[in-house]
Each structure stands twice: as C-alpha cells, then as structure tokens.
Structure 1
Amino acid sequence: MESWGARLYGDPCTQCGWAWSTDAAANIEHVRGVPQRYAQLLQGRTGAERHPGLAWSVTGYVCHVGDNLRSWAERVAGVLRGAGAHVGGYDPDALAAARGYEQTSLPAALWSLEHSATAWVQVLTEAVEADVVLLHPARGPQRAVDVTGNNAHDAHHHAWDIARSLAT
C-alpha cells in the first residue's frame, strides 16, 4: 500500500507546515477559500514565475490544484451516484502534458480552479455526510474525510510552492 497523507509528508507536513486534521468541515472550508487565496497571492503576476527546484510554473501549479480537485470530485460523485467504490488514480505529470499547463493563461487557470473548488466542496460535503469510502488502487480505502484532508493539503502545499516561486 502506498503511503499517503501524514504518513508520507509528516504531521505537520515537513515542507509546508500543514497540520493534518480529521475535521472534514475545516478541510472543506479551506478548499472553499482556495480560489480567493490563490487570486490574492497571484494578483499582478504573470503566472510564468517558476522556482528553479520545481517542475511547473506558477500557472502550472494552479492548473494542477484545479485538476486534482476536479478529479477527486468526479471520483467521489461517481461513488455517491452508485458507480461502486473502486476509483482510479492518475499521473499528474501526464495530465499536465496532455492539458498543456505551460500554455495555459493564469486567468484561465484561476477560472478553472474556482469551478473545480466549487464542485469539490459540494460533492465532498455530501460524501462526508454519507460516510463514503472509496477504494483506491494504490492507497487502499479512502474515507471521504481522508479525501478532504489529502486534497486540502495538496492545495495548501502548492500555495506554498507558488509563494516560493514568487519569491525567487
């Protein structure tokens, strides 16, 4: 089984300082605020900014967070709507190449992030209430509460990556 969450990143995350929580409501509220926080962080920026030690530009990280939220919302929505608990994984680097992160404009990426976060909040709120459990091929059982923490951390961690990119 693949290590994930606090087992992989530490508690708090040894890089970004995220304190892991099983408080799904707090995680959902964190994701609800992500589009506004990212927009404020990136105000007056081009999106082409890049940290020398990171794989993607600032816009690439915005695209990734939006895609990650949308992908998890789709998986969870499928389970909620009777598709069965088994969900697939994805390769974020392959998705970045297929979607052309480096050719996406920052305004388009922020627009996509806003829509993805809105859908994610709606679906994960419903999933937490229904106590949904997903079966991930590499991570094993993932409760909706686990998904909220993993996805909230991803968004927080990449805001940290973006801030580091802007500081270089």
Structure 2
Amino acid sequence: MNEERTEFGFRRNTCACTSCANNCRHIPGMLIPADIPRIARHLGYADVMEFARDNLLASPGALVIKDDHQIRIHTLVPQRGEDGACKFLKNNLCLIHQVAPYGCAFFSEHESRTVGDTKSTHALVNIIRDAESNGRYARLWGTLQTEGLKARAPEDIRASMNAESKGHEQ
C-alpha cells in the first residue's frame, strides 16, 4: 500500500506526534462511507455489519447549522477501550494506521482550524449524501444506535478533555 491516500482532494496526514495522537486517546476520528469496507477488509471481515458491531459506535455526530437551525450529522466512530482511547490504539500506535478512518488520517493538530473545518465539511457532506440515499453508512449507524452501541456526543468529550487539561495546568 505505497500509494498515497487522498480523500476529497486532500492528502493523508503523516504526523504521529504526541499532540496529534492525543485525539486517539480521547476522541477517535469519524469514519466516512469509504472507510467501512476498507477497514473491514483490512481486519479480515467479509460482513460489514459484523465489523461494525465489533468495532464501531454510533455517535450523535457533528452539530452544524443548516437553514438557520442546528442539526446533527450522525457519524460512525471507532469503539473505545476502558480508558476511553480508540480501540485501535495500542502502546501509542495505531493498529490500523495504513487504513485509519478519515477523521484520523486526514487531520493534524498542526493545521489551521480553517483547514480542519474544510476537511470536516467535505466528510460531513459525504455522510449526508449517504443518509439521503439510505446508504450503508446510515443503515449501520441506525443498527448500532438501536442496539445501544453508542458514543458520547463529541462536544461532551471535548468539554471533558478541556477540563482535564485545565486540571493538569493547575
């Protein structure tokens, strides 16, 4: 897999510093629809539903403004271990690095918020399109949600991360 991965015209991030890996310990990145078969195949799953049940959670997703109303775009995220870290993070290394979810592989703590927001927008539009066509991503999200395989809301996790970092500063 020497080919450079791109999504929505963006090149994959290659940084593996402590700051970038911090999200892996607290708020694993979202998957986009194209991630599902890629990661499932990499892990040896033939059945994407089995893969999803074993490895993913239904996140309430991103809060966005659409037509002057706040809405959520439901996302799929990796399951977390007892410590809250991504289930694929072991000894500070990603076990699925070569096929990591878009929300991990394409973001960096070293890029501007504007760049990160642009990347997120492309992903969320892709997820909305899948939901509008009742695509596999949306169906997997619905099944995981119904089965109680749910993640905490991202804004709640970020608030906990901020409180934790402020506690360490004191």
Structure that is richer in helix per residue: 1
TM-score normalised to structure 1 length = 0.36
The structure carrying a bigger strand percent of its residues is 2
